[in-house]
């Protein structure tokens, strides 16, 4: 029975070691409160390079009320 976790030497010789990263995390912002991926941005000004404050769904009101 073949083991899924064992590598066959022949296959390794044919392919490069480096694995291409297909899943890139495009969402780089994280919530100010909990650090989870944030989908709500406040005070964001992309034209001026201002990233603003970001929050997740549950903390969006808390972040919104914050004053810098
Ligand atoms: Zn949060």
Domain ranges of the chain: 25-68
43: tokens are 């005070």
pLDDT of residue 57: 96
Find the 27 Cα to ligand 1 centroid distance in Å. Answer: 14
Find the 24 Cα to ligand 1 centroid distance in Å. Answer: 22
pLDDT of residue 6: 67
Find the 15 Cα to ligand 1 centroid distance in Å. Answer: 41
- Residue bearing the bigger pLDDT, 62 or 22: 62
Element (DSSP H or E) covering residue 62? helix 60-65
List pLDDT tens digits, range 12-58: 555 555 655 555 545 489 999 999 999 999 998 989 998 899 999 99
Find the 25 Cα to ligand 1 centroid distance in Å. Answer: 18
Find the 52 Cα to ligand 1 centroid distance in Å. Answer: 15
């Amino acid at each position: 029975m073949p083991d899924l976790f064992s590598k066959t030497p022949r296959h390794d010789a044919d392919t490069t070691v480096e694995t291409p990263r297909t899943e890139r995390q495009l969402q780089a912002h994280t919530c100010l409160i909990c650090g989870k991926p944030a989908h709500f941005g406040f005070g964001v000004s992309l034209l001026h390079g201002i990233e603003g404050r970001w929050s997740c769904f549950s903390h969006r009101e808390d972040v919104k009320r914050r004053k810098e």
